[in-house]
């Protein structure tokens, strides 16, 4: 039996002018969508039709379209990045849907991710968390030791690399019933905490990043695990446990000084 190459779909898309405006779902019909096209290409097709009709196109975010940057963050049929596991929205293809399907498309829902317009949200809160402590500072005056000369256990190196694959898309926040960013912060803490280069500032780093996370208005983790399931890079919950250990150790150490 031949596979249907083109499908007709109904789209329920969230439209909102800005963070203060009241938004609503609007309905669009799109015919002859190739199942070989990506989800973002389908939205491009819809916007071309809207422009030809003299209507305002739908604002949505994207950049690399290769699953690297994390910009293409959409809530599709009640799931971050859609029905497939381990993929970003730009890696999702229309073959994942059936002819006649109704697809609901919404932006991330979080107090810390205010809507800019339509499907685009402001995720600069993630940037501020990283700026608070997600870096390694080093004195470069004089001779700097090559990082590759410092031995690192393979398991630590592998775990640090896995944590560093987090692209900061915010799917963990969107999936969490509490709007928690602890998987993201845990990954950013872990990628440094596991390496000797990151141990120098480990105590200050975790306290600053957690404090900034709380200041941004993210919720607390209640270990439901939805964040790990929906993360397109498969970031492990173990990073949250490591962040908690790092934070507790840092707090105890700082209290012992006084």
Domain tally for the chain? Answer: 2
pLDDT of residue 1: 46
Residues with Cβ < 8 Å from 87, sequence gap 6 or more?
A: 67, 81, 232
Position of tokens 């799917």?
171
Cβ count near 32 (within 10 Å): 9
pTM of the entire predicted model: 0.92
Verify that 130 and 229 share a domain, yes or no.
yes
pLDDT of residue 257: 65
pLDDT of residue 137: 81
Residues with pLDDT less than 50, the chain = 1
Verify that 79 and 156 share a domain, yes or no.
no
SS3 76: strand
pLDDT of residue 48: 98
- Specify the CATH number for the domain of residue 39: 3.10.20.30
Pairwise CA distance, residues 86 & 220, whole Å: 24
pLDDT tens, position by position, 158-169: 999 999 999 999
Assess if residue 258 is contained within a domain.
no
- Specify the CATH number for the domain of residue 166: 1.10.1060.10
Query: By residue range, what is the domain housing residue 200?
Result: 123-137+151-253
SS3 108: coil
Q: What is the distance of C-alpha 12 from the center of its chain?
A: 22
């Amino acid at each position: 039996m031949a596979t249907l190459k083109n499908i007709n779909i109904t789209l329920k898309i969230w439209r909102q002018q800005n963070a203060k405006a009241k938004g609503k779902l609007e309905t669009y019909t799109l015919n002859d969508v190739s199942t070989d096209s990506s989800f973002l290409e389908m939205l491009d097709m819809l916007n071309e039709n809207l422009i030809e009709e003299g209507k305002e196109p739908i604002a949505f975010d994207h950049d690399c379209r290769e699953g690297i940057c994390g910009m293409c963050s959409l809530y599709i049929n009640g799931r971050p990045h859609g029905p497939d596991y381990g993929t970003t929205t730009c890696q999702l293809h229309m073959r994942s849907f059936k002819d006649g399907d109704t697809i609901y498309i919404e932006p991330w829902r979080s107090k810390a991710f205010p809507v800019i317009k339509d499907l685009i949200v402001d995720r600069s809160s993630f940037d501020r968390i990283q700026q608070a402590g997600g870096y390694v500072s080093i004195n470069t005056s004089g001779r700097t030791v090559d990082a590759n000369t410092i031995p690192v256990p393979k398991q630590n190196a592998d775990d640090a690399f896995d944590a560093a694959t987090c692209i900061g898309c915010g799917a963990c926040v969107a999936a969490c019933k509490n709007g928690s960013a602890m998987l993201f912060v845990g990954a950013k803490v872990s990628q440094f905490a596991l390496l000797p280069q990151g141990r120098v500032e480990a105590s200050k780093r975790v306290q600053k990043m957690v404090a900034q996370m709380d200041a941004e208005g993210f919720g607390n983790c209640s270990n439901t695990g939805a964040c790990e399931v929906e993360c397109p890079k498969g970031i492990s919950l173990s990073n949250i446990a490591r962040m908690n250990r790092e934070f507790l150790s840092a707090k105890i150490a700082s209290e012992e000084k006084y």
